[in-house]
Every structure is written in structure tokens, then in C-alpha cells.
Amino acid sequence: MIVVTGAAGFIASCLVNKLNNKGINQIIIVDDFSNNLKNKNIKNKSYVEKVERNVFFKWLKENHKKVDFIFHLGARTDTTEFDKSVFDKLNLNYTKQMWNTCVEYDLPLVYASSAATYGNGEYGYNDSHDIIYKLNPLNLYGESKNEFDKWALKQKKQPYFWAGLKFFNVYGPNEYHKARMASVVFHAYNQIKNTGKVKLFRSHNPEFEDGKQLRDFVYVKDVINVCYFFMLHKKNSGLYNIGTGKASTFLDLAKATFKAVNKKENICFIDTPLDIRDKYQYFTEANIKKLRSIGYNIPFYSLENGIQDYIQGYLMEDGYY
């Protein structure tokens, strides 16, 4: 059986569907299932048992011999959360317990890290283990992910296979519940639908023109393809960037969104909210040489193709993956 934590969430629910499409139904889904909007992500998915997050380790103690692989994708991902204790509990300590349990029961583990660990990118976006201890994340979410990465690298006892996946700016189906934390593509589509225009954040950095801020936007279908690859690969443990390797501007994103809905471009700029302005990343771009070097050779969606698939295949129909 395969365990997927955070299973009602964005990326993990798409992974469950990917597994189902591969004929894998022996899945244990784990989450806090109290959010009814999130729970729509797991409707029509095939799995054998639903386990609440707070009793999962008790369940695993009783059932670990049946488990073949663990995807730990559950986390608090709100970059505007300022209560450190929330991240300590859910992102750091829970993941440490997951790691130690996988060591104890000899289980392979893939867990979600984040490109938020790179902060302003002063050390680049290279997933070399050498720079992990130097990184300065810009928010508590990024700190929590980096603290775990640092902890994992120091451990003498490790799962026989493990991978920490540094997700860049993921967008795609099943993010309806994420509200403010949903992708820019999601918000751009809904702005066009409701107002006919897209509002982008103005640049507050003289090195970047308005709308020319750059991010590595990666389609969720690519992310889950990488997850599936690691489930089969089970070697070359370590940290890996998961992005396209090509940064795009927010203007590129907005234009692709207008094209996908077949409407005339109408783009304006607003000030970046004060609560995130000093923590705003102006450039991210994944170095994916390490991922390619271990044999992952599937091409990534271009931004335009990913947005077209997302909007026309899902958002226009209020559909789920």
C-alpha cells in the first residue's frame, strides 16, 4: 500500500489521481478531513482507507508491514501565517516523526520541501546540499521547510531511500480551497471572469519593471510525474528542485491566461500588500540538473501550455483532477 499525507490538499490529491490512473488503488489517504471544500478533491478517488492526521502514527505502528511507500505532502503552506508554533508542530516536528518512523519500519519516504527555502536567492537556486545551511528564507513557512532539510541531512539514521522535493511555484487543478494562497493563474482567471482584467503586483524593486518579476511556474501534472518517478526509482536519495528550469514573468502568465480564455488583454498594477512586501521573491528559477542527471527525462509543460490545460480542462468547468 502507498500512503499519501495531505491527501485532500492540492498536490497530494492530484497525486492520488495519478496513482489511480496507473491502476494503483491500494492507497491510504491521510489528512485533517474537516474542510469540506478540500474534501471535494478526494471525491471519486480510489483508496482503501482514510486516516486522520492526528492518529496516523498509531495506525502506521499497527499496519506498517502492509506499507510500501510514503509520500508526506501534508504541511501548513500559508506564507502569511506568523505563529511559529503552528509550523513547528505541523511542518517540522511531524515530519521528524515521519522520518524516524520510516527509519524504524524500513520505509521509503518522499516529502515536500519548498523553493521558499531559498529566500532572496542570494546563493542561487541550486539543490546542492552544500548551501542548505546558508539559506535565509523570507518567511516562517520557508524557515520550517529549511529547518527540516537541515535536520534531515544531519541524520546518521536515514530511510533507505528518501527525497525532499523543493517545489517551486506550483499551479493547477484542485486548488479551489487555497483562497489567498492559490496560484496566480487561479486568481488571474477569476479576475478575468469577474472583472475582465488582471491585477498584478507593482514592482517595489528598481531592478525589475512592473510585471517583470520572474518565477519558475510549474504545472502540478509535472510535479506528480516527478513524484511517481521517485516511487519507482528509489535510489539517489537527497534534495531535489522541482521546477521547469525556466523562469517566466508575471506578464507572461497574465497574457497566457487571457489567451486561454480568448479575451483581450487588460492588465493593471497594484501595490504589493505591506504584509508580504519585504518577503517577496522577485526571481526564482530551479536548477534541475540533479533531477535530470538521475534519469528523469520527461519534458515539462511550457507556461502557456500548462495554463491552457488548467483553464480549459478544469477551471472553465469547475472540474477536478
Q: Which residues are catalytic?
A: 141, 178
Pairing of strands 169-171, 49-52: unpaired
Report DSSP state, residue 73.
Answer: -
The region that residue 227 occupies, defined by phi over 0 for left and psi between -120 and 50 for alpha, beta otherwise, is alpha
Give dist(CA 21, CA 147) in Å, integer: 35
Give dist(CA 69, CA 65) in Å, integer: 11
Q: How many CB atoms are located within 10 Å of the residue 269 CB?
A: 14
Q: What are phi and psi of 90, to 5 degrees?
A: -90, -35
- Three-state SS at 311: helix
In 3D space, the residue among 206, 171, 212 whose CA is nearest the CA of residue 302 turns out to be 171
197, with CB counted inside 10 A (0-12, 13-18, 19+), is middle
* Residue 199 amino acid letter: K
